[in-house]
Amino acid sequence: MTETVHNLLLGFSVALSPPVLLYAFVGCVVGTIVGVLPGVGPLAGISLLLPATFGLDATKAIVMLAGIYYGAMYGGSTTSILMRIPGEAASVMTCIDGYAMARKGRAGAALAIAAVGSYVAGTVSVVALMFLAPPLASFALRFGPPEYFALLILGLLVLAYMSSGSMVKALAMATLGLLLGMIGIDQMTGYFRFAYGVVELGDGIGVVPVAVGLFGLSEILATAGQETPPAVIKPTLRELLPSRQEWKDANWPIWRGTVLGFLIGIIPGSAHIISSFVSYAVERRLARRPEEFGQGAVAGVAGPESANNSATSGAFVPMLALGVPSGPIPAVMLAAMMVHGVSPGPLLIKQQPELFWGFIASMYVGNVVLLILNLPLVGVFVNLLRVPYPLLYPGILVFCILGVYAVNSSVVDVWIMLVMGLVGYLLRKLEFEPAPIVLGVILAPMIEMALRQSLAMSDGQYAIFLTRPIATTLLAVGVLLVLLSFKSLITHGFDWRERMAMAEKGEEL
Amino acid sequence: MRRARVLVGVVALAVVAGIAGAQESYPTRPITLVAPFPPGGVADLTARPVAASLEKILKTPVGVVNKTGAAGAVGMQYVATSRPDGYTLLLALSSISIIPEADKIFGRPPAFTVEQFAPIALVSADPTVLVVRTESPWKTAREFIEDAQKRPGQISYSSSGVYGTLHMAMALLEHAANVKLRHVPYAGAGPALTAILGGHVDALASGPAVVLPHLKAGKLRALAGWGEARVASLPDVPTFKELGYTDAEFYIWAGVFAGKGTPEPILTRLRDAMRQVVADPDFKGAMDKLETPIVFKQGEEFQRFFDADARRLAAGVRRVGRIETK
Amino acid sequence: MGASRGLGAVGWSEWRHAAAILGTCAFAAIALERLGYRLTMAIALGFLIGVIERQGVFVTLTLAVALAAGSYLLFDTLLRVPLPRGPFGL
């Protein structure tokens, strides 16, 4: 314990030295801008700015890049809440309840809760990272394709909780998303699927153009032409802060989101994107009034925002403890380290304590910096909404197109966004929920890949899922959850969803 | 009459000035160096020092643009179809030879062909190395191969993707040593490395720089390399050539290409510039940090290397054929 | 389970507006790599603000140019993302 404290002090002495502090600050600011820009998410931000760090020494470079990653997670919630445009894929769930809160005039409260939730999650998860990195990393490495597959199947179950109203509609949307996710190169055999000769579709439809189009563009399409433009919200200062009840409502979701996000984040692979989706589902399942979700439930903002921030710390665990690239973002960070002559690996913590502990300390510092940055910015951003809509939305549109284009320098991505914008517009009119589509697009390629890799590993034996303890446990949990949901059928009660639907139709229970 | 002569004189002067200007004025605009892989990968990390040095030498901004997708096909196709005026260059990896062959196998119209490029220079050529975990029973390459011969299809290996560089390296070994291994493709070199570290597969063919830290930490063991000579940072690791498997030769190389049809003077200028790039101390320092030795080939030499490599890889891809899954 | 409303009951009043916006975006997608970023965006914005939203000439011009140039600056300078340049280096 004392050794850890000693190391931490060493870390803080590095992190609080003015040059490093400056770079952390720069990283946070740039990250916030990147997060606010639609389409350009943390991966794009870090990749774009990687070359800018070549002239710096290793610690400053890593600290700045981590700041960008964090800042992007904080910033992504801003556009989600204010304009229903996801700043990155992980902010999609915040679009739903966050934007609903904004429409009710609680934009400031939503932003503040998101900021505070992100801060708590960020800080707590860094503490966990500090103490638990090596043992957690070894555990995380044991997640191979079969375990991944089981986890993702659990993720599919999450889809059931993502929409209000008709289950059939939600499943239809999920299926659409899963189908869209099948476009691209089949990783196992090299066949191009549904690409119709367009090389850019080889990697599939990116989740970013889909999310921005489905949520952001469709919002613009639906709102821009209304005869009565949306009422400009002019909140007073008191209205900017969350009420006592709202803080109370946010408390448990923040803690749950933190734990959940961290656990999901440490798993190698891209699973950390689904942390916010899973948190949303958990919050809805545990809520006393689940029908609030979709209309502006505080838990629907607090949980996912905390989850996606603590997932970022979780993602660093295998990277720092073992030098294993556990996802695209840690891979870029590892590359940054290599470029600066730091060889990542299991000995990183021992050989480069200033780097590791300086990094940890700068994450604490970064979280504080971002909280201080974001809270006053709440007022600034909300004032942005005062611009008359006919002048505001062209600007938003420019940034959407620009952001989506910039990620891959690809016009095809812009077209995908346009098509999904049209789809999202139509879905709104027909009262379908777009969120399951996004989850489907993310999950489909991952599930298929995990299944086929598992079978390749076992030479075709399906028994592999039962011979590996972690995979079996996860699958058992999934089966249990499905059985539990059938309980209502057996006991002849109506579950809350049907009660809601009946209430909508004005029937009596 | 006089006016006509003056006119002809002016026109002649303009034409001469124009030609002279065009010849000496390359480059007049910023140049784009296309890296067909995502940032942080080998291609990207090599492209950036190249771009930085070229910028100094050609005295014009050289920007790296990552056009990613389809294992590099998107970026490569973009350069192949751009105007060959010397302002759009490509930093390609060995996969440039693989992708058109793979397209042929699937009966697809190829995204591009190797003939659509004019090679400028080779910058690095890392031979891949075969690594296994330290806990595994094979201490030498021979033990590994003998075991594989005894148990065909039982030893598994990960790769960065089907027909990718890491897959092809293993495919060449399978052919040269007459063994059959079990292939588990992953989406990229990073996940492939994670897989072997987690014990989910038995072996991996990897570029040396990426696995070096793990070799030093004692987590992985290198058995042999696919190069002509031993890897500089791994002097104790023999090559497959030494062990008698001469067909197992594979490099993850990076080279600069321009579109075919780029005017000769511009190509010459670029080749000269590249020669200066590899002599540039900044460039050398950057490549050192990446633990990637500079291997410079140009002109005839590069063409020969490129052709031989392309032939080997094409044969390898055809042998792998279409993968039918159960 | 809740039946959905019939197709005719859905309000489509703003579809022309939405179609115009989509059309402008499609133009932007087509022109982006041919005309260069700034020119494309300036035209698209000019069309949106001036023609569809029918704001005054001064407002339209200012906003179109400012947004196109400003966003270009943000990405080119801060994020060092090369955006397409069209003829005249625009």
Tell me if B207 sits within 8 A of B42, measured CB to CB.
Answer: yes
- Check residue C9 and give its pLDDT: 54
> Which residues neighbour B168 within 8 Å (Cβ) at sequence distance 6 or greater?
B98, B250, B313, B316, B317, B320
Residue A438: CB atoms within 10 Å: 29
In Å, how far is A346's CA from the nearest CA of chain C? 32
Secondary structure (DSSP) of C23-53 = HHHHHHHHHHHHHBHHHHHHHHHIIIIIIIS
What one-letter code names the amino acid at C63? Answer: L
Question: Which pLDDT tens digit goes with each residue over A383-414?
Answer: 777 777 888 888 888 888 988 888 777 888 89
- Residue B74 in tokens: 């998107």
Q: What is the CATH number of the domain that holds B46?
A: 3.40.190.150
Question: Which pLDDT tens digit goes with each residue over A14-70?
Answer: 778 888 888 888 888 888 888 888 877 787 788 777 777 777 787 888 888 888 888
Question: Which pLDDT tens digit goes with each residue over B176-231?
Answer: 888 999 999 887 787 888 889 888 999 999 888 888 888 888 889 999 999 888 88
Tell me if A149 sits within 8 A of A450, measured CB to CB.
Answer: yes
Domain range enclosing C41: 36-82
Any B CB within 8 A of C6 CB: no
13-72 of C, contacting A, C-beta below 8 A: 13-18, 21-22, 25-26, 28-29, 32-33, 37, 41, 44-45, 48-49, 53, 55, 59, 63, 67-68, 71
B220-225 and B129-133 strand pairing: antiparallel
| Average pLDDT of the segment spanning C37-56 | 85
Question: Does some domain include residue C65?
Answer: yes
Alpha-carbon separation of residue A257 from A35, A243, A475, A477, B133 (angstroms): 20, 21, 22, 19, 36
Question: Does some domain include residue C31?
Answer: no
Cis peptide before B27 (omega within 30 of 0): yes
Instruction: Write down the pTM of the prediction.
Output: 0.81
Any C CB within 8 A of A74 CB: no
B62-66 and B129-133 strand pairing: unpaired
Question: Does some domain include residue C24?
Answer: no
Question: Which pLDDT tens digit goes with each residue over B46-63?
Answer: 888 888 888 888 888 888
The total number of structural domains that make up chain B: 2
Q: Among B184, B209, B225, which residue terminates a domain? A: B225
Per DSSP, B106 falls in state: T
Contact A323 B326 (CB under 8 A): no
Residue B178 exposure: Cα atoms within 13 Å on the Cβ side = 4
Hunting for tokens 């890897």 — which residue is that? B231
Question: Does some domain include residue B290?
Answer: yes
| Percent of chain B surpassing pLDDT 90 | 11
Tell me if A408 sits within 8 A of A415, measured CB to CB.
Answer: no
Residues of B in contact with C82 (CB under 8 A): 32, 63, 65
407-446 of A, contacting C, C-beta below 8 A: 409, 411, 414-415, 418, 421-422, 425, 429-431
Secondary structure (DSSP) of A294-325 = TS--THHHHHHHHHHHHHHHHHHHHHHHH---
CA B69-B75-B76 angle, 5° bins: 120
Question: Does some domain include residue C12?
Answer: no
B78 shares a domain with B58: yes
Residue A444 exposure: Cα atoms within 13 Å on the Cβ side = 23
Any B CB within 8 A of C87 CB: no
- Check residue A302 and give its pLDDT: 92
Question: Does some domain include residue B308?
Answer: yes
Name the strand (E) or helix (H) holding A452.
Answer: helix A435-457
State whether residue B123 is helix, strand or coil.
strand
Burial class of residue A211 in the structure, from the number of CB atoms within 10 Å of its CB (0-12 exposed, 13-18 middle, 19+ buried): buried
B141 shares a domain with B116: no
Angle at which helices A107-141 and A244-266 cross, to 10°: 20
Touching subunits of B (3+ CB pairs, under 8 Å) are A, C
> Which residues neighbour A47 within 8 Å (Cβ) at sequence distance 6 or greater?
A332, B38, B39, B40, B66
Tell me if A166 sits within 8 A of C1, measured CB to CB.
Answer: yes
Residue A105: CB atoms within 10 Å: 14
Touching subunits of A (3+ CB pairs, under 8 Å) are B, C
B117-127 and B251-259 strand pairing: antiparallel
d(CA B100, CA B73): 9
287-326 of B, contacting A, C-beta below 8 A: 289-291, 322-326
How many CB pairs lie under 8 A apart between chains A and B?
159
Nearest CA in chain A to B289: A341
The total number of structural domains that make up chain C: 1
| Percent of chain A surpassing pLDDT 70 | 90
B199 shares a domain with B65: no
Nearest CA in chain C to B28: C89
Domain range enclosing B175: 129-225
Residues of A in contact with C80 (CB under 8 A): 48-49, 51-52
Question: Does some domain include residue C43?
Answer: yes
The closest alpha carbon to B50, from B67, B70, B35, B36, belongs to B35
Query: Does the pLDDT value for residue B21 go beyond 50?
Result: no
> Which residues neighbour A488 within 8 Å (Cβ) at sequence distance 6 or greater?
A494, A495
In angstroms, how far is CA A70 from the centroid of its own chain? 12
In Å, how far is B48's CA from the nearest CA of chain C? 13
ipTM field: 0.88
B256 shares a domain with B115: yes
Q: Among B225, B243, B267, which residue terminates a domain? A: B225
d(CA A58, CA A340): 5
Question: Does some domain include residue B215?
Answer: yes
Secondary structure (DSSP) of B18-76 = HHHHHHHT---S-EEEEE-S-TTSHHHHHHHHHHHHHHHHHTS-EEEEE---GGGHHHH
Q: Which residue has the higher pLDDT, A235 or C71?
A: C71
| Average pLDDT of the segment spanning B299-316 | 84
- Residue C11 in tokens: 């309000």
- Check residue B221 and give its pLDDT: 92
Question: Does some domain include residue C77?
Answer: yes
Bridge partners of B133?
B220
Question: Which pLDDT tens digit goes with each residue over C1-27?
Answer: 344 455 555 667 777 888 888 999 999
Q: What is the CATH number of the domain that holds B213?
A: 3.40.190.10
Residue B108: CB atoms within 10 Å: 16
Question: Does some domain include residue C25?
Answer: no
> Which residues neighbour A482 within 8 Å (Cβ) at sequence distance 6 or greater?
A157
Bridge partners of B259?
B117
